[in-house]
Amino acid sequence: MPAGVDNLERLEEEACREIAAAASLQALTEVRARYLGKKGSVAEVLRGIGDLAGDQRARIGQLANSAKRRIEMVVSERRRALERGQRDRTLGAERLDITLPGAEEPRAGHLHPVTRVFRDMVEFFTSMGFSIEEGPEVETEYHSFEALNIPKLHPARDEQDTFYVEGGNALRPHTSNVQIRTMTGRTPPFRFIAPGRVYRHDLSPRHYPMFHQIEGFLVDERVTFADLKGVLHAFGRHLMSDDIELRFRANHFPFTEPSAEMDYGCLLCERKGCGICSNSGWIEWGGCGMIHPQVLENCGIDPDRYQGFAFGMGVDRTALLRYGIPDIRLLFEGDLRVLEQV
């Protein structure tokens, strides 16, 4: 191609037209090669300027170079436009309408077995006029032990059983701290339940380092052990069966006097003996007793005038029995396959 100002202008115009018409990145690459490649039209013009006179050669050379730059610019603009178009097409094809109904029906969850048992227990006691009290899970030694008649050297304070934290506090090993906090500064009569999490060093199919307890206590004048048994019988009937049988075995707790362990007759074998009740016909349910006069006094309540009863039981064990779950650890591992069966 002969070198010349007219030729260069025409070349540039043609290039721009073809670039604008390039419908794909591939076509654009081809157009670019035709004009700017080693054997392209612009290179051809530049090769031709060797024959020109000195001043003209410099001028045409300059024009050819600026034409080259402009074409290069138009090519990159076109490339960006083509890439944008391609991206929009891809996004359009992959567009997701999140307002459309799902292909699968959403699965409804349900409450955790422990929560269900808890709610059931709380419902019973509130219907009997007990109110609900809560206390801290990190508790002072005074509220967890001393005020409950558990002196410094008592085995319950052993670090084998209790998780101690910095500053002389401990993760509460029972919900009885709530008893102390609630009774202190209050004048009887009153009745409360304290449901919550407690912590002990233990791990086996029947024990977990964190578990749930519910504790109840009532203080009034002329309260007797018979009142305690009456409340627990009604509770057992509500929670398990109208045919429930309870058994009270004398025991010792530092914070009650007299104290008893209570069992209920195994409902599965009707006390004939089975795997669930270890062939004894009875299942341990919890501890109870009359609140120790010293504990009342620790809370500023006159033990000569008032008496009270207290009881406490594990909630998780009830959930295991009610839903036929063989291992307490299954309750807290969050395995949906287990929880869905409940």
Q: Kindly report the CA angle at 259 between 254 and 265, in degrees rounded to 5?
A: 135
Which CB, 57 or 206, lies closer to Zn ion? 206
Task: Identify the three-state secondary structure at position 51.
Answer: helix
Residues in the chain: 342
Q: Which is nearer to Zn ion, 230 or 324 (CB)?
A: 324
Closest CB to Zn ion among residues 115, 280: 280
Nearer to Zn ion, 74 or 266 (CB): 266
Please report how close the Cβ of residue 287 comes to Zn ion at its closest, in angstroms: 21
Q: How many CB atoms lie within 10 A of CB 207?
A: 15
Phi, psi dihedral angles at 138 (to 5 degrees):
-100, 115
CB of 325 to Zn ion, least distance (A): 16
CB nearest Zn ion: which residue? 266
Produce one character per residue of 133-167: b if its CB has 16 or more CB atoms within 10 Å, e if not. bebeeebbbebbbbbbbbeeeeebbeeeebbeeee
Both tokens of residue 237? 């009937």
Nearest distance in Å: CB 322, Zn ion: 14
Amino acid at 188: P
Rounded-to-integer distance, Cα 161 and Cα 145, Å:
13
Structure tokens that stand for 124 in this block: 């019973």
Among residues 285, 222, 296, the alpha carbon closest in space to that of 256 is found at 296
* Spatial CB neighbours of 180, under 8 Å, sequence gap ≥ 6: 143, 147, 148, 295, 298, 299
CB 326 to Zn ion: min, Å:
14
CA separation for the pair 251, 51 (Å, rounded): 120
Is 128 or 276 the residue whose CB approaches Zn ion more closely?
276
- Of 63 and 266, nearer to Zn ion (C-beta) is 266
Cis preceding-peptide flag for 113 (omega within 30 of 0): no
**Which residues form the interface with Zn ion (CB under 5 A)?**
266, 268-269, 274, 276-277
Helix H or strand E encompassing 258:
strand 256-265
Shortest Å, Cβ 282 to Zn ion: 8
Closest approach, Cβ 226 to Zn ion, in A, equals 28
Q: Which is nearer to Zn ion, 16 or 274 (CB)?
A: 274
Min separation Cβ 275 and Zn ion, Å: 7
DSSP code, position 272: S
